[in-house]
Structure 1
Amino acid sequence: MKPIYKGKTKDVYALEDGNYLLKFKDDVTGENGVFDPGANTVGLTLEGAGRAGLSLTKFFFEILKEKGIPTHYIDANIENATMTVKPATVFGNGLEVICRYRAVGSFLRRYGMYAEEGQALDAFVEVTIKDDERQDPPISEDALDMLGVLSKAEYAVLKDLTKQIGQVVKEELAKKDIDLYDIKFEFGRVGEDNQIVLIDEISGGNMRAYKDGVYVEPLELEKLMLV
């Protein structure tokens, strides 16, 4: 294996067959020891978080595969906390796409003049630039197109996939009486035809979920979903 990239929550290696291996870590994003899926720093280390995140990711990616929704997923080894994926190129230096069902987190911080905490949102899709130095600023469809990060046609695909995948996750959580408030995705281009697919992971570390009005920690979410 050839090391390619060391990230906050996982490392990436190139395999001899041309695919990539993602190694999930026990680090999660947050600030001052408090988990926050929207943070751009590692806030704390939770023992078992890597395997838990991968277990949930495998669960969701296999559901998406059954539904014919494109992802980079090939297979996963839970014991080793690794996932084999197709090679993908990201948009620009990386984008994060958030699907919001409730007004919380950075959405509430920005729009609190008009929104109330926990207010219902209709699968609001928001794109932010992965840029730690500038605190991951939101960016509009027009700006993405003008700056050559992705075209308006690609943006439409991105938005549609975000809503589709968000709904799948929301429905699966609802089966366990868990309410999804928001979820963060990453997408990339795969293959010669540059097909837009979901990349990275779908785990507790990428979402805010609540049960009976109480926030569900990432490790607890995995236990609730996979029992």
Structure 2
Amino acid sequence: MRYGSKLAEGKTKIVYAHPEDPELVILVHKDAISAGDGARRNEIPGKGALSGRTAANVFCMLNAAGVPTHFVAAPEPTVMIARRCAMIPVEVVMRRRATGSFLKRHPDVAEGTLFNPVLVEFFLKDDARHDPQVTPQELVAQGIASADEIAEMTEQGRRVFGLLEHAWRAQDVALIDLKIEFGRDARGRLLVADMIDNDSWRLWPGGDKQRMLDKQIYRNMTTVTAEGLEALKQKYAQVAEMTERFCPR
């Protein structure tokens, strides 16, 4: 399909203007994978198509449930058409169980501790500062988001987590945590935006961390090998296939 001018390029996608509608953009998913604030980078041929397929299935389900998102269509596995948003430079992280970076910040908490309701945390998108955690009060003071927007991001974040948790539980997979982002459309409305794919969550089949399906496998690699990347690609393919049940077409 035709693309307009390039608007932005990140570690895992390129954003183009839509050639016909100024309120839309075209996202092209890359085959890249990274960790450690971009310190580790690799290419996995075909990952972009798998990530795009997963994201399309997730956003299709969210749209059907009435969650306001930027997703419009996915005409090709590596291509997503979305509403143009001014992205809020914050990662909203929902946690059902304590693991990963949370344990480093809270060493007194046992791994696997359940959070009910789901714990919501905010992190500035800033690789140079290692995405520091910020409080709602700091977000307001810095003019990044209003108090009403923070309340909405918290509510919608928990709603998105609940929908995905239910969908994964139906396949005996535990959703451990989830990272999402928000943007403001041309009317100032908050939309769940960017990507939700296998880089966005932790998935433990049967609740077993040793069987994880997600990007944490890549983060845990002491040495990156072609064999390891191929095995990881198969996990991404498995997740993409499983998410087909989220939004039957």
TM-score exceeds 0.5:
yes
1:165 alignment counterpart: 160
1:67 alignment counterpart: 65
1:128 alignment counterpart: 123
Query: Do 1:27 and 1:42's aligned partners in 2 also have CA atoms closer than 8 Å?
Result: no
1:90 alignment counterpart: 87
Matched residues in 2 for 1:27 and 1:41: separation?
13
User: AA paired with 2:172?
Assistant: D
Distance 1:118 1:47, change over 3 A: farther
Deviations 1:162-184 (A, max 9, x none): 00001111111111111011110
2:27 alignment counterpart: 22
SS in 1 for 2:144: coil
Displacement after TM superposition at 1:49 (Å): 1.5
1:53 alignment counterpart: 51
Matched residues in 2 for 1:49 and 1:3: separation?
21
Unaligned runs of 5+ in 1: 32-38
1:144 alignment counterpart: 139
Structure ranking higher in strand proportion? 1
Distance 1:96 1:40, change over 3 A: farther
2:13 counterpart of 1:10: yes
1:221 to 209, 215, 239: 239
TM-score by length of 1: 0.90
User: AA paired with 2:44?
Assistant: L
Matched residues in 2 for 1:222 and 1:132: separation?
28
2:225 alignment counterpart: none
Deviations 1:38-92 (A, max 9, x none): x55553322221111111111111111111110011101234x01011110122x
User: AA paired with 2:9?
Assistant: K
Matched residues in 1 for 2:44 and 2:185: separation?
32
Query: Do 1:8 and 1:41's aligned partners in 2 also have CA atoms closer than 8 Å?
Result: no
1:105 to 94, 100, 108: 100
Query: Do 2:58 and 2:243's aligned partners in 1 also have CA atoms closer than 8 Å?
Result: no
Query: Do 1:30 and 1:44's aligned partners in 2 also have CA atoms closer than 8 Å?
Result: no
1:206 alignment counterpart: 200
Query: Do 1:73 and 1:85's aligned partners in 2 also have CA atoms closer than 8 Å?
Result: yes
Matched residues in 2 for 1:61 and 1:225: separation?
11
Query: Do 1:29 and 1:40's aligned partners in 2 also have CA atoms closer than 8 Å?
Result: yes
2:190 alignment counterpart: 196
CA RMSD of aligned residues (A): 1.5
SS in 2 for 1:204: coil
Deviations 1:23-50 (A, max 9, x none): 001112325xxxxxxx555533222211
Unaligned runs of 5+ in 2: 215-234
Matched residues in 1 for 2:173 and 2:154: separation?
24
Deviations 1:134-161 (A, max 9, x none): 0000000111111111111110001001
Q: Percent identity?
A: 27
TM-score by length of 2: 0.82
**How many equivalent residue pairs?**
215
